[in-house]
Amino acid sequence: MKPKQDKKDKRLNRLYSQDNRDNAGRKTDLRRRKWRRFLRLIRALFATILIIWVIKTLIFSIGDRRQGHNASDDVPSSPQTETNPFTVVLDSGHGGYDVGTEGVSGRYEKDLVLKIALLTRDALMEKSVQAGLDLLVWMTRDDDRFISDIDHERAKMVRAHGGDIVISIHANSFVDPRVSGTETYYYDATSLPLAHIMQQALVRATGFNDRGVRQANFYMLKETGMPAVLLELGYVTNEAEETKLWDKTVQKKIAEAIAEGVLEYISRENEEGGEALSP
């Protein structure tokens, strides 16, 4: 009986170890499946986070803009009062991660034009008070915020707010560093008088090369619903001009020139029988 018993034991052992191997295989399979499930979960989680982030960014960029501009204390809003103030919309180009063009020194257009726009706002307020004009300034941005080009958001903001004229402030760039000077862009005939006044005022103030008044179909010139000009103050790819553009004295001169240009435009409009401005 003993040998038989041994045989039976061996067979049982074999079966047992076979079973163990099967179990081990199943466990590895299970582990693999679990791992795959875990990876799928991680992927889904990342996708969800990405989608939420994109939606949040979109909502915030819109919300920020609205809130920022309405809540801003130093920028007067323009409620339509009985005196019907003349509203100047100042638009500093670019902003946020849209840095605009990069100058010789590595500084960005978005920072330069914001500085000049803020100085222009101050100059406009000061000069309009001196002239006894009821004038308001509204800015598309008064800080380093991003405004999307998608759907021409900037023009939509201006149109939604309303105003009498819009002045978009930019600085230019070109591959040839020798190119320098000021250009003023307009689109339709109603904007041409303002464009001429601005170009002359800027060139007079800075002594930069007069590159003239030019027509362009930029959406900021076409879609704001009011006379609109876009100023290319100078070329930041020209070393001398960039240095001047970043000079505080020159920046103040530019701001004052734009402000004086606006006042000149208003007085000409009045002479031509336009809407009278109440002091």
Closest approach of Zn ion to the CB of residue 59, in Å: 26
The two three-digit tokens of residue 128, written as one number: 């309009």
Half-sphere exposure of 86 (CA within 13 A, CB side): 27
Closest approach of Zn ion to the CB of residue 38, in Å: 48
Closest approach of Zn ion to the CB of residue 170, in Å: 3
Choice between 235 and 265, CB closer to Zn ion: 235
Interface residues toward Zn ion, by CB under 5 A: 93, 100, 170
Determine the Cα–Cα distance for residues 37 and 41; give it in Å rounded to an integer.
6
Q: Closest residue (Cβ) to Zn ion?
A: 170
Closest approach of Zn ion to the CB of residue 220, in Å: 10
Choice between 230 and 255, CB closer to Zn ion: 230
Distances (CA, A) of 89 to 46, 119, 262: 42, 14, 11
The backbone torsions φ and ψ at residue 75, rounded to the nearest 5 degrees and listed phi first, read -100, 115
Determine the Cα–Cα distance for residues 93 and 98; give it in Å rounded to an integer.
9
Closest approach of Zn ion to the CB of residue 89, in Å: 17
The backbone torsions φ and ψ at residue 64, rounded to the nearest 5 degrees and listed phi first, read -55, -45
Choice between 110 and 128, CB closer to Zn ion: 110
Closest approach of Zn ion to the CB of residue 94, in Å: 6
Choice between 69 and 170, CB closer to Zn ion: 170
Contact between 255 and 120 under an 8 Å Cβ cutoff? The reply is yes
Choice between 100 and 163, CB closer to Zn ion: 100
C-alpha dihedral, 142 to 109 to 93 to 135, nearest 10° = 50
Contact between 139 and 69 under an 8 Å Cβ cutoff? The reply is yes
Choice between 157 and 266, CB closer to Zn ion: 157
**Helix, strand, coil shares, percent, the chain, to 5:** 55, 15, 30
